[in-house]
């Protein structure tokens, strides 16, 4: 009887998987669960090989007024980046842009060729304008245990970037939680942060309405993070839900951006001495 039930479950599961491929999230069933192992990979930036962004020990040159781009959920598959190569043209036309953040689910399944594709795109941007691109790991990037490919070609999944007037914190939320060690690290580091503070996490802390599935699994971690960022952070950027959502809590803007894959969406953030502003745009080509 038990074998028959397991057989039916397996057939249903495989049918859904074969129809949809990796588009099913499956609550991390095919993902790496070794968050602590990932967090040990510190300051190894194979991806950031350009001089302008080789390590967290270097200062990101920003100036008093600048802008940056955040893109979520590019879901590169079979080396198809859905036209993301055109991002170079956007940057070439806007001299105020100082960096780009690929905010998780960069690939569909974490495959080597797709990681290499985003590196190729980032290298072209670096060659053209010297603009660094910072990667954030997402749940799709660790599917099938493929974070090992991330480690091989990109490196760290959690890190800090210091700029002249701003500090960036890149977090690993690929398993829908941060873990105590990572939050302890952030709490220590954010006290040392200078200038404006921007935090980037793939998995969303909030949902659009109560009917939606929770994006973040640990409500205690969420409460701790919101308390930690209160009046210390300017904005936190998130994705994963493929929906646009802006909330404010404790003087912090929490900004969720639509997915790039289907909507070609991205967020352009402008920073000046008087504050920050943002606009949601769509890449045309």
Task: Look at residue 37 in the predicted model and tell me its pLDDT.
Answer: 81
Q: Is residue 10 classed exposed, middle or buried when 0-12, 13-18 and 19+ CB atoms within 10 A define those classes?
A: exposed
Does the pLDDT of residue 16 top 50, yes or no? no
Q: What is the pLDDT of residues 194-214, one digit of tens each?
A: 999 999 999 888 865 554 544
Token duo for residue 273 = 């001495």
Task: Look at residue 12 in the predicted model and tell me its pLDDT.
Answer: 39
CA-based end-to-end distance of the chain:
56
Rounded to an integer, the average pLDDT of 259-276 is 95
Q: Which has the closest alpha carbon to 97: 65, 59, 68? A: 68
- Can you give the pTM of this predicted structure? 0.86
Percent of the chain with pLDDT over 70: 78
Residue 128: band (very low, low, confident or very high) from pLDDT cuts 50, 70, 90: confident
In this structure, how many other beta carbons lie within 10 angstroms of the beta carbon of residue 249? 14
Does the pLDDT of residue 277 top 60, yes or no? yes
More confident residue, 145 or 226: 226
- Low-confidence winner among 9-13, 50-54, 134-138 (lowest mean pLDDT): 9-13
Bridge-partner residues for 77, per DSSP? Answer: 80
Angle at the Cα of 164 (from 160 to 166), degrees rounded to 5?
A: 50
Sign (positive or negative) of CA dihedral 259, 101, 42, 129: positive
d(CA 204, CA 41): 23
DSSP 140: G
Task: Look at residue 8 in the predicted model and tell me its pLDDT.
Answer: 35
Q: CA–CA distance from 197 to each of 166, 221, 235, 271 (Å)?
A: 6, 19, 7, 11
Question: How far is residue 205 CA from its own chain's centroid?
Answer: 13
Rounded to an integer, the average pLDDT of 113-129 is 91
Does the pLDDT of residue 51 top 60, yes or no? no
Task: Look at residue 216 in the predicted model and tell me its pLDDT.
Answer: 63
Task: Look at residue 197 in the predicted model and tell me its pLDDT.
Answer: 97
Residue 130: band (very low, low, confident or very high) from pLDDT cuts 50, 70, 90: confident
- Low-confidence winner among 60-64, 68-72, 275-279 (lowest mean pLDDT): 60-64
Rounded to an integer, the average pLDDT of 18-36 is 51
d(CA 215, CA 213): 6
Task: Look at residue 25 in the predicted model and tell me its pLDDT.
Answer: 46
Task: Look at residue 43 in the predicted model and tell me its pLDDT.
Answer: 66
For the chain, list the domains and their CATH numbers. Answer: 25-282 (3.60.21.10)
| E strands in 50-141 | 59-60, 66-71, 97-103, 133-136
Does the pLDDT of residue 166 top 50, yes or no? yes
Residue 267: band (very low, low, confident or very high) from pLDDT cuts 50, 70, 90: very high
Bridge-partner residues for 163, per DSSP? Answer: 60, 166
Average pLDDT, the chain: 83
More confident residue, 34 or 281: 281
C-beta separation of 92 from 131 below 8 A: no
β-pair type (166-170, 159-163): antiparallel
d(CA 48, CA 135): 9
Does the pLDDT of residue 162 top 50, yes or no? yes
Rounded to an integer, the average pLDDT of 137-149 is 91
């Amino acid at each position: 009887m038990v074998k028959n039930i397991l057989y039916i479950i397996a057939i249903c599961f495989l049918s859904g998987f074969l129809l949809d491929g990796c588009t099913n999230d499956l609550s991390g069933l095919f993902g790496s669960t070794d968050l602590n192992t990932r967090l040990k990979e510190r300051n190894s930036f194979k991806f950031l090989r350009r001089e302008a962004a080789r390590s967290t020990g270097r200062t990101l040159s920003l100036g008093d007024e600048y802008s940056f781009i955040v893109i979520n959920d590019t879901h590169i598959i079979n080396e198809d980046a859905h036209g993301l190569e055109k991002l170079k043209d956007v940057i070439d036309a806007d001299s105020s842009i100082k960096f780009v953040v690929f905010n998780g689910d960069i690939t569909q399944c974490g495959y080597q060729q797709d990681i290499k594709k985003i590196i190729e795109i980032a290298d072209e941007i670096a060659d053209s304008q010297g603009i660094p691109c910072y990667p954030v790991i997402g749940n799709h990037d660790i599917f099938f245990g493929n974070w090992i490919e991330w480690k091989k070609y990109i490196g760290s999944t959690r890190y800090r970037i210091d700029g002249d007037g701003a500090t960036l914190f890149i977090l690993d939320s690929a398993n829908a939680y941060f873990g105590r060690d990572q939050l302890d690290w952030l709490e220590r580091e954010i006290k040392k942060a200078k200038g404006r503070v921007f935090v980037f996490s793939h998995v969303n802390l909030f949902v659009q309405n109560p009917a939606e599935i929770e994006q973040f699994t640990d409500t205690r971690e969420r409460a701790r993070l919101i308390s930690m960022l209160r009046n210390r952070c300017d904005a936190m950027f998130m994705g994963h839900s493929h929906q646009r959502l802006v909330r404010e809590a404790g003087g912090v803007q929490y900004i969720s951006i639509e997915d790039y894959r289907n909507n070609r969406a991205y967020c352009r953030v402008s920073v000046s001495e008087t504050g920050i502003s943002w606009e949601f745009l769509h890449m045309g080509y």
